[in-house]
Amino acid sequence: MSGVFYIGLGDQFDGDKVKVFPPGCAAGNTSHFHWAKFGGYITQATAIGPLGLEYLDPTDDPRWSAIRLPAG
């Protein structure tokens, strides 16, 4: 793991509210976002499953980019 890892808590991205976290820290069981504010970072996520990833706004989920639902 390397680089500077920024995490912000909340449902909406706000670059002014991110805080620096050292390697090994994470935000769990709460809405949060990550940002490589300056340069990049390498991270590793390890968990005991089942593990899920939920997007508050389904249109932000890249898994749906290849599937286009018919307009409503």
Task: Give residue-wise pLDDT tens across range 4-52.
Answer: 788 888 888 888 988 887 776 777 778 888 887 777 778 777 778 777 7
- Residue 40 is predicted with a pLDDT of 73
Indicate the pLDDT class of residue 66, thresholds 50, 70 and 90: low
Residue 1 pLDDT > 60 = yes
Contact 1, 43 (CB under 8 A): yes
pTM above 0.75, yes or no: no
- Residue 15 has which token pair? 């670059």
Q: Percentage helix, strand, coil, to 5, in the chain? A: 10, 20, 70
